[in-house]
Chain A
């Protein structure tokens, strides 16, 4: 399956955006969720497949019709995930997938094995945050 160079992470809380232009690490946390049966934890992303992906993400709405990502979006090169897997000394793999939804053709997930302890998950979140290439706040 072909993936684009970047993925997009929506930002719901403006406090995640630091005044110097960086992003808080907890935005990329893998939270405990038991929705999958393949032993992985997931966090939602959108793939930057085309020029419309960013504006689509910025305008995504929740079920109640309100804007989902009130603060903006962060752009992360997929290369950061590939390098993270190479950098880490223990054989833990952060993987990714497409997960197209009826109302979101760009949707996907970052995945990490559920067995990975929380300290390591949070370290990976910080690593991804360190690799953010651009932050686009909501206008």
Chain B
């Protein structure tokens, strides 16, 4: 499980390296174990997106889409379990266009984040846009499979800080 710390004022989330240890113990306390996503109640915001991608025929697009949703779900689960975020996020939306390209998007009134899984897998990308009330913050880039968690955590950090 990825560990996180949260900055108090901005509520920004920072992932910790896997080898980071938290000191301290209580007599009789039990440590260890991982978080099982399926047993926690916050998966509902991702549920409809899972249903949309369940029928994908392109194996590469399906694989990458599932990785993105898994990363989002796991990050939300971890943050909610650590009380770093409220657990009533709006639904994540997934769409498949007529070319088989998947768009996974989180829409808020002042900003939105998204992931696009292209049939040309190396053209897959992510984005963040906001309106003037949030300083027109914007970013985008290619989505590399090995970097999915990093992108997801950074984008969700923005969501938590601004929702």
Contacts and interface: CB of A to CB of B under 8 A. Distances in A.
Given A18-B107, A25-B103, A87 B138 contact: yes
Contacts, number: 66
A20 B138 CA distance: 23
A61 interface: no
Main secondary structure of the interface of B (DSSP, over half): strand
Main secondary structure of the interface of A (DSSP, over half): helix
B8 to A, nearest CB: 29
Chain A, interface size: which category? 20 to 34
A126 B93 CA distance: 13
A16 B95 contact: yes
**Max chain B C-beta neighbours (<10 A), residue from A13, A22, A117, A118:** A118
Interface of B: 90, 93, 95, 97, 99, 101, 103, 105, 107, 109, 111-112, 114, 116, 118, 123, 125-131, 136, 138-142
Interface of A: 13, 15-16, 18, 20, 22, 24-26, 29, 31, 87-88, 117-120, 122-123, 126-127, 129-131
